Amino acid sequence: MKKEKKSKSNRIIHIAIRNIRPMTNHSVNPSEILISDQQNKSAITSHSLENYQQYRLSSNKSISLFKLPEINCTNDYHRKKKTKWHIRQYLCLVVLLVILMMIIISIVLPIILIKQSHTSTKSISAILRWNTSGITIAIANSLNGPYGFKLDRFGTLYIVEYYGHRITKWLSGASNGTIIAGSLSGLPGNASNEFYNPADIIIEDNGDMYITDRSNDRLQFWPNGNSFGITVAGT
């Protein structure tokens, strides 16, 4: 005991154990420890687990050894010097870190900025976006199998009705179209005023129309306002 006391010099204090608890949990209740040196009581209460284990090992004796935290040592003079030195070291480190950060930022920031401007000019598809839900602009009980269609600058729609065998004209916002070519009955045929599965349309500036009459294997020319078409190609 004496030997140990010597080697550890002033870092060792004596304590007496009043009541030894069964060692089931690892926390130590400071109130159970009587400390010979009242000045060090506050330091003892904040003991670490390591010190506590030391206390466990020697707990069968009435006196056990505790390591004191560093603040309780007597050679304060050296300690103060050392902490000053530490502060200097820390300051140097902080300054170094700040410099390093500045260097990193000065390198990374231009890269990020260049990248951002690069992506914003590259992604042309970002400008071209469409609503994923369509708006129905032409629907009616009478509309039968819209295939080809044309839209003029006024928003008027010309729709080729593949199963309705006719061409209908829909003014912008209209809920119904008017028949401008083909049969009124909605039945197919190969007469000059009929179509059989018309598919696509070209409208001239004057309103004359060219229509591919698909199942009749012919190209129909339908002058504006006419009541019948003229076969210009095919049979």
Partner 1 sequence: MQLDYPTGIVRDSSSNTLYIADSYNHRIVSYPSGNIVAGGTFGFANNQLSRPIGLFYDSFSKSFIISNYLSHNVVQWPLDASSWTHMAGGINGSNGNTSTLLLNPIGVIVDPMGNLYVADINNYRIQFFSQGQKEGQTIAGVTGISSSTAPYLRSPRFLALDNQLNLYISEINSNRILKFLRY
DSSP 172: T
- Judged by beta carbon, residue 12 or residue 138, the one nearer partner 1 is 138
Here the tokens at position 219 are 């190209």
165 and 153 Cβ atoms separated by less than 8 Å: no
Long-range CB contacts (< 8 A, 24+ apart) of 167-176?
167/198, 167/201, 167/209, 167/211, 167/222, 168/142, 168/143, 170/138, 175/140, 176/140, 176/142
Name which position in 44, 65, 181, 201 contacts partner 1 (CB under 8 A): 201
Instruction: Rule CB under 8 A: say whether 171 interacts with partner 1.
Output: no
Instruction: Rule CB under 8 A: say whether 179 interacts with partner 1.
Output: no
Instruction: Read off the amino acid at residue 154.
Output: F
Instruction: Rule CB under 8 A: say whether 215 interacts with partner 1.
Output: yes
How far apart CA 220 and CA 24 sit, in angstroms, is 101
Tell the smallest beta-carbon distance from residue 117 to partner 1 (Å): 20
Stretch that binds partner 1, among 19-27, 93-101, 187-195, 204-212 (CB under 8 A): 204-212
Tell the smallest beta-carbon distance from residue 153 to partner 1 (Å): 8
Stretch that binds partner 1, among 19-27, 31-39, 66-74, 213-221 (CB under 8 A): 213-221
Instruction: Rule CB under 8 A: say whether 133 interacts with partner 1.
Output: yes
Report which of 221, 220, 223 is spatially closest to residue 206, judged by C-alpha positions: 223
Instruction: Rule CB under 8 A: say whether 194 interacts with partner 1.
Output: no
How many Cα neighbours within 13 Å face the side chain of 70? 6
- Judged by beta carbon, residue 55 or residue 162, the one nearer partner 1 is 162
Beta strands at 209-213 and 218-222: parallel, antiparallel or unpaired: antiparallel
- Judged by beta carbon, residue 103 or residue 232, the one nearer partner 1 is 232
Interface residues with partner 1 (CB under 8 A) are 124-125, 128-140, 143-151, 153, 157, 159, 162-163, 199-202, 210-215, 217-219, 232-235
